[in-house]
Amino acid sequence: MSAEPIATPSGPWCPDPIRQQRADYTLEDLLHLPDDAPRVELVDGIIQVTPSPTLGHQDISSLLWMWLRAHAPTHLRAAQAVGVALNTNTSRQPDVLLRRADVAPDRSLLVPADVVLAAEVVSPGTRRTDRFAKPGEYAAAGIPYYWRVEQDPVHVYAYRRGDRIGPGGERQYELVADSADLIELSEPFEIKLPVAEITP
């Protein structure tokens, strides 16, 4: 009698529930996801499927990417939804980021030293993560600047990694500007961003 092969479940890819319970996924696993895998983030060894963004979220994200692309100096480049390996078992995908221009274009996973600014557009399903979890993770990883963009009305909150130490011993972000009209900053470059230009 011969053994029957185990049937492979049909349907879209999803994380292995046993590995999810063990929280033992790593960055290496992300690099080997199948082509049909949805957009995911890795948080403390657990793969989280990110919800599909709304059209309004995507409009703001695209407009911010285009504005940064048009205004950033040549040593910086804007990108959208590229993974950033924050540590061995956590990777996030900021909605928009500014990276160093000398990073190889074939990279699909950046390290914090590659990233100058991470920006998140807040949606109803991501409020807690974008307001609390991600800024803490980005600051702990050493990303110098974080922008949070709220919708309805569009309002930009710009943060810089400061000297204040958080409960885990890492430096935290401090708010340096916020406006629904005009964001003016001298870092990471001279910025004069009319919020209307990223408002759909």
Query: Domain 55-198's class?
Result: alpha beta
User: CA of 4: how far to CAs of 1, 7, 11, 69, in Å?
Assistant: 9, 9, 21, 55
Place of tokens 């629904």: 180
Closest by alpha carbon to 198, among 109, 19, 66?
66
Q: What is the pTM of this model?
A: 0.88
pLDDT single digits (tens) 22-66: 999 999 998 888 888 888 899 999 999 888 889 999 999 999 999
The two tokens of residue 41 are 């983030």
**CB within 8 A of 138, min separation 6: which ones?**
86, 92, 94, 112, 118, 146, 173
Listed in order, the ranges of the chain carrying CATH 3.90.1570.10 are: 55-198
CB neighbours of residue 158 within 10 Å:
23
pLDDT single digits (tens) 153-196: 999 999 999 988 877 788 899 999 999 999 999 999 999 999 99
3-state secondary structure at position 120:
strand
